[in-house]
C-alpha cells in the first residue's frame, strides 16, 4: 500500500537507487506528513474547543508541531541533496541527521509543554464534555496516526533515512497519546471521574522519555557511531576473496549520509610479490567497492614476509599464546628481527571494545606469554581496539 502511494508520487521509487530519487522520496514523505498533520490539527482543535479538554487541545498542538517537523524534514532532504563543494568536500548528506536531531528535540519540548498544561489541569480541573462526535474524531485520529507511522517507517526503511525513522517513532507516540486521551474521554463520559489532566501527564512523561531516546539515537551518526557489523564482515569477506590478499585489519568506516560512505583498511600482501602487481590489485579492489557498493575505499598496503618458515612457525606459536589469554583476539603485521643475544618480535593484536582490560594490561599479559616461549624474545606490541575482530585474521 505504501509503496504504491510512493510510486505514484515519485517516479522510480523502489526501483532506482539514485540519490535524486531518494531525495524526491524524502520530500514526498514530508509533504504527505504536512497534509495529514494539518488535517489532524484542525479536527482535534475543533474537538478540543467543543469539549473543553486540555488533553485534546494539547494533542492538537502536537499535530501542529508534527507539521513543523515534516517541513523540517522536507527542507532537510532538499539541502542534503546538494552536491559537494569547496567548504563541504564530503557533501551535505549529514544535514538529514541534523533534521532527525531537531525533530527529536521538538518531541522532547512538546512533552514538557504537555506536562505543564496537564499539571495546571490537575490543580484547576475543568469539566470536560465528550460527545459521540468528539469520541469519533479521536478514534479516527488514532487510525490516521497508525497509518502515518507505518508510512514513515516503510519509506524510511526503503531509503535508509534516520530522519524518517525518528518521525515514524514520533507518530507512534501520537498513537499512544491520542489513545490515552480517548480512554480518558470514555471514562469521563460513562463515569463521574475526570482523568483528563492525569492522563495528559502520563502521556507527557512518555513523550519526554521517548524524546530523550530519539535524541540519543539520531545523534549517534553525528558522533561517529560504529559501522554495522554485517557491513564490516561483508567487507572483510569480500576483500579476502581476492587472490593475493593474505590478511586484513584496521578497517574504519565513516558515514557522511546515505550514499556517502568512506572507508579505509590495511591489506597484507606477500612482500615477495612485485610491488606493481600488488598495487594493481589494490586499485582493482578500491574500484570494485566504489562501483558495486558505493563505498569510497582507501587501502593501505602492508607487505608481509611469507618466505621465512621459521618466522611463520613462530607466528603460529605466538598466536596460540595470545589466544590462551584472550580467545577473541587476532594478530597481524607480524615481523621478527632475528639477533644473536635476543630477537625482536613485532606485531599488533586486535581486541574488541568489549574487552574490559586496559591496553597496558593486555600488553603486559601477552608479553609475558610470548616470553614464556623464550626469555630472549623482546616483544614490541601495539593494541588495536576494533568493533569486529575478524576471525579470518586469526
The DSSP bridge pattern shows strands 295-304 and 261-270 to be parallel
| Residue 96 grid cell | 538529514
Provide the pLDDT for residue 323: 93
Provide the pLDDT for residue 394: 44
Burial of 181 (0-12, 13-18, 19+ CB in 10 A): buried
Provide the pLDDT for residue 138: 78
The CA distances from residue 295 to 13, 291, 386, in Å, are 22, 8, 20
Provide the pLDDT for residue 314: 94
Q: What are the pLDDT tens digits along the chain (394 aa)?
A: 788 888 888 888 877 666 778 878 888 888 888 888 888 888 888 887 887 776 677 677 777 777 777 777 777 777 777 777 788 877 777 787 787 788 788 778 878 887 887 788 788 876 666 677 777 877 888 898 899 999 989 988 888 787 788 778 878 877 887 787 778 777 877 777 777 778 778 878 877 887 788 788 777 777 777 777 778 888 888 998 999 998 888 888 887 776 678 899 989 898 888 999 999 999 999 999 998 888 889 999 988 888 788 988 999 999 999 999 999 898 888 888 888 899 999 999 989 888 899 999 999 999 999 999 999 999 999 998 876 555 444 4
45, 103 in Cβ contact below 8 A? no
* 295-312 b/e (C-beta count within 10 Å ≥ 16 → b): bbbebeebebeeeeeebe
Provide the pLDDT for residue 392: 42
Provide the pLDDT for residue 126: 65
Provide the pLDDT for residue 372: 93
151, 2 in Cβ contact below 8 A? yes
- Centre a 10 Å sphere on the Cβ of residue 132 and count the other Cβ atoms it contains: 8
Strand-pairing partners, residue 332, are: 348
| Residue 177 grid cell | 497519546
Number of DSSP helices (H) and strands (E) in the chain, helices first: 11, 6
In the chain the domains, ranked by start, together with CATH numbers, are: 2-223 (1.20.1510.10), 229-393 (3.30.70.1350)
Amino acid at each position: 500500500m505504501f509503496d504504491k502511494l510512493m510510486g505514484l508520487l515519485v517516479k522510480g521509487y523502489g526501483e532506482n537507487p539514485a540519490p535524486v530519487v531518494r531525495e524526491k522520496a524524502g520530500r514526498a514523505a514530508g509533504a504527505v506528513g504536512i497534509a495529514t498533520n494539518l488535517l489532524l490539527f484542525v479536527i482535534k482543535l475543533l474537538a478540543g474547543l467543543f469539549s473543553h479538554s486540555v488533553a485534546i487541545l494539547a494533542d492538537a498542538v502536537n499535530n501542529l508541531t508534527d507539521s513543523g517537523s515534516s517541513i523540517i524534514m522536507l527542507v532537510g532532504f532538499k539541502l542534503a541533496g546538494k552536491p559537494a563543494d569547496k567548504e563541504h568536500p564530503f557533501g551535505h548528506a549529514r544535514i538529514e541527521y541534523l533534521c532527525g536531531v531537531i525533530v527529536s528535540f521538538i518531541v522532547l519540548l512538546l512533552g514538557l509543554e504537555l506536562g505543564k498544561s496537564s499539571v495546571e489541569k490537575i490543580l484547576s480541573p475543568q469539566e470536560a464534555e465528550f460527545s459521540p462526535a468528539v469520541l469519533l474524531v479521536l478514534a479516527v485520529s488514532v487510525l490516521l496516526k497508525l497509518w502515518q507511522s507505518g508510512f514513515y517507517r516503510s519509506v524510511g526503511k526503503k531509503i535508509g533515512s534516520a530522519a524518517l525513522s525518528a518521525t515514524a517513532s514520533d507518530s507512534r507516540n501520537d498513537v499512544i497519546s491520542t489513545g490515552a486521551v480517548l480512554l480518558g474521554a470514555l471514562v469521563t463520559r460513562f463515569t463521574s471521574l475526570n482523568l483528563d489532566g492525569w492522563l495528559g501527564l502520563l502521556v507527557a512523561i512518555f513523550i519526554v522519555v521517548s524524546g530523550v531516546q530519539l535524541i540519543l539515537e539520531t545523534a549517534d551518526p553525528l558522533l561517529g557511531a560504529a559501522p554495522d557489523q554485517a557491513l564490516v564482515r561483508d567487507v572483510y569477506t569480500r576483500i579476502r576473496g581476492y587472490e593475493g590478499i593474505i590478511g586484513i585489519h584496521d578497517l574504519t568506516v565513516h558515514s557522511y549520509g546515505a550514499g556517502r560512505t568512506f572507508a579505509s583498511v590495511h591489506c597484507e600482501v606477500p612482500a615477495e610479490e612485485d610491488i606493481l602487481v600488488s598495487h594493481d590489485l589494490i586499485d582493482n579492489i578500491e574500484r570494485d567497492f566504489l562501483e558495486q557498493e558505493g563505498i569510497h575505499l582507501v587501502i593501505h598496503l602492508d607487505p608481509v614476509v611469507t618466505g621465512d618458515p621459521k618466522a611463520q612457525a613462530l607466528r603460529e606459536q605466538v598466536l596460540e599464546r595470545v589466544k590462551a589469554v584472550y580467545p577473541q583476539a587476532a594478530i597481524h603485521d607480524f615481523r621478527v628481527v632475528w639477533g644473536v643475544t635476543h630477537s625482536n618480535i613485532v606485531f599488533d593484536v586486535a581486541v574488541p571494545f568489549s574487552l574490559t582490560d586496559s591496553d597496558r594490561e593486555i600488553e603486559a599479559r601477552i608479553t609475558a606469554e610470548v616470553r614464556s616461549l623464550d626469555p630472549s624474545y623482546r616483544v614490541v606490541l601495539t593494541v588495536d581496539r576494533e568493533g569486529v575482530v575478524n576471525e579470518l585474521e586469526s
